[in-house]
Structure 1
Amino acid sequence: MSEQVIYALAAILAGLALGSILGALTRRLVAPQERRRSLEGLAGPAAAFVFWVVLALGIAVAVGILAPGALEPLGERVLAFLPQVLIAILMLIVGRAAATLAGTLLGAGLARATGRTRREMVIVLRSVIMVVVVLLALGQLGVNTELLTLTFAAVLLCLATAMALLIGLGGRHVAREVAAGRYLRRILSEGDHVHTEGVNGTVVALHAATTEMEGDAPGTTHVPNTVMLDGPITVTRPPRPEQ
């Protein structure tokens, strides 16, 4: 094996090792341990970007060692195209972070409104944002995205129609739970002991669509508000401290 091949392999391995180290360092810098969960959507793409850039540099060095003149015409093209590539990568990183943030906010909002985490809706929102970002990034690179845009618009229209039907059919159930919750807030308070058909425990919190109860079993249970009103309800209030 010639020295050039050995040096080329060494350059590739060095790029691989250095890219892994710098990628891990980038992940830690972008998303520290105490904030890793909230910034994971940005840290992952940023670390991957650093890794592939460093590895590409190692491969370029290896090609330059094996064929010194091969990169001369390529260098000008790369330098001319590099700004567009960097902008496209930046769009993907920012888009990934925006999709993660939007999904987190949607999941938290739905959990507060209905008492349940709608993971499928969070996934749909993140996917839609990422598809839009990918189309914009491809357009930045000069790719003709007209056919892809039309296809995505058709798929998005079908998803929107299906979601509208689901919301319309399921919204009536949620509205019933919210209406029942408004009435329960008039007669129940946190700490009250409730006994009704199928429900026996202490009220921990009153949510929009559910009542959080604590019984004999460990943990708490979210009971739909309409279930609390299905039959007679007995409320025992804790004794008030003497003034």
Structure 2
Amino acid sequence: MKTITYLTCLMLSLFIYPFSSLAADVEQEVKALFVPTFEKVEVEEVVSSENLIVKDENGELSSVKLIGLSSPIFGSGSLTNRCEIFEAERKVKQLTINKTITLRNDETTSLKDYKDDKYRYAILSDGRNLNELLLREGIVAFNATIPFSEEDKYEKIEEAAQKEGLGIWGNTPACNFKSFYEAAFSAPLSIESTFLGIAIFQFLQFVLLVTLAVALLLIEKIRQWQSEKQDRN
């Protein structure tokens, strides 16, 4: 019985090996023939720190995922998690929104796009690699769910950020009111906007106090009316 099982396994391996070897050879040949493409686009929207909506030269919009990155996500709803998310998006908006960047494909991810998303490296106008920049500053995390050719390099970049306690790897939330404002409104927090915010806050405070005073006055009037009604009876 053992002999039959062994022979069966041997025959199956001899049958499968040529096909697996052929598939590996085809993949290597495709990679060898890989030619990087560079596409200039304008960033229309920052969906998250790893997901951009871009417009090409023909005016067509498409979704682009930054290769090898994972955005901070809402966990338990803690302030720290929210700060990380807003700080990450604020940084990406600051670097990309309404600006022209260059997208470069990868020899591995270029074999297939996933869920209608393009997986690309983003090159800023000054030549810096946005993917590496965000990872180096601890703004995003390394993610190899979608295989790509520079995984080892990106993993080392993240390890360096972790050792230095940068961004999401630090103990202190990276953002404050300024970051919340700039992330929410896609605009820098200026003196004018600060005074406007204070004025709005004070106005709302005034409205709340007036509403409370009117409510207390009505309650007192109702009590007086009920008291007078009881005296008449």
Question: TM-score scaled to structure 2, two decimals?
Answer: 0.28
Of Structure 1 and Structure 2, the greater strand share is in: 2
Question: TM-score scaled to structure 1, two decimals?
Answer: 0.27
Of Structure 1 and Structure 2, the greater helix share is in: 1
Q: Comparing both chains, which one has the higher relative contact order based on Cα–Cα distances under 8 Å and sequence gaps of 6 or more?
A: 2
